[in-house]
């Protein structure tokens, strides 16, 4: 089971390398997503390194979540620029960053699982990914950016699949870490790893379809 969890970190690294290799062939909006993948790969490899040394790696999430939230919000502000006021996204981002800072310093401190921030991030990204499905079927968008839309739909599918499937795990993260037996905890995170792998498969297809 531990091997499954370790191997589940490889897709993010492989997809990040692939995205960087085709970066110049991508539409500008998909290039923003490349930064998300590079940041995710860096933090996941850092987390894995601490895990191998049997050291607390929870602090990684406290930095990853707000950075990831910011990049993906910028990404969707570009995707939905014709349909959603950017000031709304900006306001949500600022509120989330303030909340994350308060949460990491006063509520769920940096050495613990930041389940509240992760849950809010998951809800927000489910909303944005679902919104992209609704707005990107608009006739003018489909005709103007058919190749780009195809790639975007796969990226949004990966995000929605992952976050909608793991919201309960994120919300219960501290309980799982502290109350569950080691084997039960490993099985729970193996399920999380499965959906993570599916997400990165969707990302790979998205970049493959989106490149020129």
pLDDT tens string 57-81: 899 999 999 999 999 999 999 988 8
The pLDDT tens digits of the residues spanning 99-155 come to 999 999 999 999 888 999 999 999 999 999 999 888 776 655 555 566 677 789 899
The most distant pair of C-alpha atoms in the chain lies apart, rounded to whole Å, by: 53
Give the residue carrying structure tokens 């379809």.
Answer: 209
Rounded to whole angstroms, how far apart are CA atoms 15 and 28?
18
* 96 against 142, higher pLDDT: 96
The mean pLDDT value for 26-47 works out to 93
Q: Per-residue confidence at 34, pLDDT binned at 50, 70, 90?
A: very high
Position 176 confidence tier, pLDDT thresholds 50, 70, 90: low
Residue 176 · residue 117 · CB < 8 Å: no
Q: Could you tell me the pLDDT band of residue 190, with boundaries at 50, 70 and 90?
A: confident
Distance CA 191, CA 61 (A): 18
Q: How many helices (H) and strands (E) does the chain have?
A: 10, 0
What phi and psi, each to the nearest 5 degrees, are found at residue 157? Answer: -60, -45
Over the Cα atoms of the chain, what is R_g? 17
- In three-state secondary structure terms, 136 is coil
Given a cut of 90, whether residue 178 has pLDDT beyond it is: no
Percent helix, percent strand, percent coil in the chain, to nearest 5: 85, 0, 15
Across all residues in the chain, what is the average pLDDT?
Answer: 86
Closest CA to 12 of 38, 30, 32, 35: 38
DSSP 88-131: HHHHHHHHHHHHHHHIIIIIS-TTS--HHHHHHHHHHHHHHHHH
Q: What's the mean pLDDT in 29-35?
A: 94
Q: List CB contacts of 117: < 8 A, sequence separation 6 or more.
A: 62, 65, 66, 96, 99, 100, 103, 104, 108
pLDDT for 9 equals 80
């Amino acid at each position: 089971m531990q091997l499954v969890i370790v191997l589940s970190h490889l897709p993010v690294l492989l997809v990040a390398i692939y995205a960087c290799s085709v970066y110049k062939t991508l539409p500008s909006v998909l290039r923003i997503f490349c930064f998300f993948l590079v940041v995710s790969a860096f933090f996941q490899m850092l987390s894995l390194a601490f895990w191998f040394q049997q050291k607390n790696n929870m602090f990684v999430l406290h930095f990853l979540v707000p950075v990831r939230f910011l990049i993906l919000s910028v990404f969707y502000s570009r995707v939905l620029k014709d349909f959603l006021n950017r000031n709304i996204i900006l306001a949500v981002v600022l509120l989330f960053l303030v909340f994350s800072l308060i949460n990491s310093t006063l509520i769920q401190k940096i050495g613990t699982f930041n389940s509240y921030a992760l849950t809010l991030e998951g809800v927000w990204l489910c909303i944005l990914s679902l919104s992209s499905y609704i707005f990107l079927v608009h006739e003018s968008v489909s005709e103007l950016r058919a190749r780009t839309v195809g790639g975007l739909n796969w990226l949004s599918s990966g995000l929605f699949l992952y976050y909608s499937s793991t919201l309960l795990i994120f919300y219960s993260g501290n309980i799982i870490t502290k109350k569950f037996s080691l084997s039960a905890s490993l099985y729970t995170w193996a399920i999380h790893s499965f959906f993570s792998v599916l997400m990165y498969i969707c990302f790979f297809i998205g970049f493959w379809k989106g490149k020129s």
